[in-house]
Chain A
Amino acid sequence: MLIKKRGYFFILDAVLGLSVLVIGVFLITSSYVNVPQPAQVGLLSDDLLDFLSNNKIKDLNNPYAGIGGELWNQGIITDADNSLLQQIGEFYAANNFDTAEKFIQNVSKGIVPSQFRYEVWIDGTILHPQIPSAEHIKSRNSTELLLTSKKLTFGIINKTTSDLWGPYKAEVFVWER
């Protein structure tokens, strides 16, 4: 009888042990699920900055910012070889902040998924959004993960006089809503 009772005890022990293991494995694997998030946000901020710095005005098919577009026809954009980031820097150097904001909005449309928010700063000045909404600020302050990518940018503001602008620090902040 004594032996039989101990058999139950061992089975119960094994079940308890197994449940501890299962719970342990579950906790461990569920902690893995959270791991990719920072990488994804980090990639997004890098991607946005790379997109801005690796694409030129002449590569853009955009009715507002591309060649033959609104800004081009108004003579506000004059150098098709400027990268998008250089163009933003040039707007900043010329104190043309409103155009810079609209330009960023136009060229980055569809680049950042809608569940993320982002900011673009040049030389310590926020250009997009120029005036952040209360919702935007709240989201930024309450996010668990906000990642930034930084790059230097510079260029020629006047080809005739060879006047340069920069080098400025360009920063992109990305976080989940």
Chain B
Amino acid sequence: MGTIKISIKKRGIFFTFIAITIMTVFILVFTPQADISLKKDMQSVASRISSIDNYVDDLENNYFETILRATAYKTILSLIFYMNSTGSYIATLDSAFSEVMMTGKINGVPIDSITGKKIMNNNTLTDWSKRIIDAAEDTLNVNTTINVSGVSVFQTKPWNIDSSMSVNFTVKSNVAEWKKSAVITATISIEGLHDPYYLVNTNKAYTNQIKKSTVEFNQWNIAKLREHLRNGTYVHWENSDAPSFLMRFTNTISSSNCCGIESMVNPNKITPSDQRESYADYFFWQHKFANNCTQLYNITGLWDEFRYFKLDFDHVTRYNITAQDAVRSC
């Protein structure tokens, strides 16, 4: 009996070990907390990163372009009103554009106080950058830093203005950090804007808004020219001597490779109406033909409505004016 009891006791220990081992295995296999909390954490981190990544993407691809387009338009509009108020051209367009766009000031003075228009107030690039920084902090609890390192304006097409800005931005959150650099470009149409060249040269007496003529280059005739003059529309000719829209801000009256545009000065809107000039706008105020009347033609075909209207020979041929409608001035 004594030997049997001893072996049973030993088996008891054996069973206890097996039970403990099985329990340990079960506990290890089925312990849910660690696994689920890890998944939960991963999900929440992934979700947060995804949200912030969408914000960064939106910032780079949509927000910057939207505010660049809006502020570029407002800056150009402000500069036109500035020229209208001061009656003078802008010395350096790029630096004036950059200063107005970033700070709302020109030569250190708020441009709105000069123009008397509330255009740049709370609408500078700096204002809009601050707004998105505040909104992102409130919405996504991220710290955004935006550094605009350069702004420029240029033209590659006659009827559009391109604006570009170089921007470095950082978005910091408790889970990750994004550092990016980008060059953002935005295009705005010049149609509807006032031509600053007219404003300065006539001391605000004659304003002309940019409106593209719909006439094809080989469809011109005296009737189309009459409509062109009546509506104050603009034309782009390949290889002409006309300046671009932006060149008109600085009185840079020379040939633009890509973007020269021209309109005709309406003799009924200037004093005196009869001047010894070609009435193509960029020649008219440059007095290119003032002492060269042999190359000027009275466009008599239009004198019933636009008396004293004259053009130089080059324009007479471009607009397809026939001899019966054009007579030498002298």
Contact = CB atoms under 8 A, between A and B. Distances in A.
Interface in B126-154: 128, 131-132, 135-136, 138-140
A163 to B, nearest CB: 7
Interface in A116-163: 149-152, 154-156, 160, 162-163
B69 A162 contact: yes
Chain B interface category by residue count: 35 or more
Given A152-B58, A160-B192, A28 B135 contact: no
B139 A28 contact: no
B135 A31 contact: no
A6 B62 CA distance: 80
Among A3, A42, A150, A162, find the residue whose CB has the most chain B CB atoms closer than 10 A.
A162
A12 interface: no
B61 interface: no
A58 interface: no
A163 B127 CA distance: 13
A10 interface: yes
A156 B132 contact: no
Contacts of B237: none
B69 A168 contact: no
Q: Determine the main DSSP class of B at the interface with A.
A: helix
A12 to B, nearest CB: 13
Q: Chain A contact residues (Cβ within 8 angstroms of B): what range?
A: 20 to 34
A169 interface: yes
Interface string B26-49: 100010100010000001000100
Given A6-B8, A163-B70, A168 B135 contact: yes
Interface in A80-136: none
Interface string B15-28: 10001001100100
Given A10-B15, A28-B32, A167-B136, 20 more contacts: A21-B22, A21-B23, A21-B26, A25-B26, A39-B43, A150-B139, A151-B51, A154-B62, A154-B66, A156-B70, A162-B69, A162-B74, A162-B188, A163-B70, A164-B70, A164-B128, A167-B63, A168-B135, A169-B138, A169-B139
Interchain residue pairs A-B with the least CB separation, the first 10: A162-B70, A162-B73, A169-B139, A167-B135, A28-B30, A150-B139, A164-B70, A167-B132, A152-B135, A152-B139
Interface of B: 4, 8, 15, 19, 22-23, 26, 30, 32, 36, 43, 47, 51, 54-55, 58, 62-63, 66-67, 69-71, 73-74, 123, 128, 131-132, 135-136, 138-140, 188, 192
10 contacts: A28-B30, A42-B43, A151-B54, A154-B66, A156-B66, A162-B71, A164-B67, A164-B128, A167-B135, A167-B136
